[in-house]
Amino acid sequence: MTSFEQAGTSGPFAGMEAGGHEEVVFWRDRVTALRAIVAIHNTTLGPALGGTRMYPYPSEAAALEDALRLAAAMTLKSAAAGLDVGGGKAVIIGDPARDKSEAFFRAYGRMLESLGGRYVTTTDVGTTTEDLEVMARETRFVAGTSPAFGGSGDTSVLTGLTVYLGMKAAAREAFGRDDLGKRTVAVQGVGKVGWQLLKRLRAENAVLIVADVDEHRAKRAGQEFNARVVRTEEIWQTPCDVLSPNALGGVLNDETIPRLRCRIICGGANNQLAEERHAAALEALDILYAPDFIVNCGGVINVAEELRGYAEERAVARAHLVYDTTRRVFAIARADGITTERAAVRYAEQRIQTIGDLHRTYLPRWDGKP
């Protein structure tokens, strides 16, 4: 059910009210045919930060729904990671293989600049570092460019690290120790994040299984990491200790969950649960779910650190906190008798409320103006 349907009506305001969003902006550029939507979910902790996704959506309603859902997830992710940024997301309706041009992304950059810093963007599905660097010719509000352009570079390295640390925390919860050596880990999706995760798992001598819709990429991963290759549709019922979804969201649903033969789910994909009720379905099968927005926060940590002057050591240090955060979420779930997904949401929302309450105290502006 979409947030429109949950609100009992249709249209942008219904979706915003259902999800608690602050602002939605629709953009159209006549010359380049750009059509974009920015959803700003929550700015209690700071400017909304989130990627720009470019995808040939079947409808404007589908694009809006994706933006709203992804923006809300970014709020939770940033809050749980201890960052001073809020949550937002942008979507561009278009084919990334056909519709990109310099003028296209410069037009988009000018539109971002018009928001005055309420939203800062980075890469997502369908956009690249090179695209960001074109946007940056028109706006200050991009993060995640290459080091040559003053950015922090490839965010998948830190995301792979945080997923790995979350996986170790889950192993400790499920098996009593966080050693992944000789544990069987099935990695679905061997793109940038999946590849970084596989590097760490291989170094710890995990037994690896891989699957990807790109058969060539899956085969290459199999050879590189001495992993068994299976088809994507087979990985859900493949016996393993840990299943790691690292592609698109919504993969834990009514069709896949009954087929699962794993003890832990921990991956880098966003919005892995098709619906929140699927967290309870996993729990009923004694499958420990490490909530995606808790463990896949390495990328947002990386780009958020750029906003105050990037220091790799500081970003890596914050990424390592994910191990303890994941364990804390599991402890909340046990103590309160709730799913790990609900515990993770509660953990993030508590921080937003606590820090938001500080705003009740007036601080004079540095320039002396009220």
Give the residue numbers marked as catalytic.
Answer: 89
- 184, 175, 193: which is closest to 272 by C-alpha? 193
- 330, 356, 352: which is closest to 74 by C-alpha? 352
- Helical (H) or strand (E) element with 75: helix 60-80
For residue 261 the two structure tokens come to 């033969």
Looking at residue 260, the DSSP 8-state letter turns out to be -
- Helical (H) or strand (E) element with 14: helix 12-19
Strands 207-211 and 228-229, bridge-based pairing: parallel
Q: Scan for tokens 């996993």, then name that residue.
A: 282
Separation CA 90–CA 67 (nearest Å): 6
Looking at residue 38, the DSSP 8-state letter turns out to be E
Phi and psi, residue 55, nearest 5°: -155, 145
Q: Give every CB contact of residue 82 below 8 A, 6+ residues apart in sequence.
A: 318, 321, 325, 351
Which DSSP string corresponds to 332-358? Answer: HHHHHT--HHHHHHHHHHHHHHHHHHG
Strands 86-93 and 48-55, bridge-based pairing: parallel
- Helical (H) or strand (E) element with 210: strand 207-211
Q: Scan for tokens 């309870």, then name that residue.
A: 280
> Residue 100 carries which side chain, given as an amino acid letter?
K
Are the C-beta atoms of 7 and 14 separated by less than 8 Å?
A: yes
User: How far is residue 43 CA from its own chain's centroid?
Assistant: 17
Q: What's the Cα-to-Cα distance from 340 to each of 12, 29, 119, 288, rounded to whole Å?
A: 30, 43, 29, 8
Strands 119-123 and 228-229, bridge-based pairing: unpaired
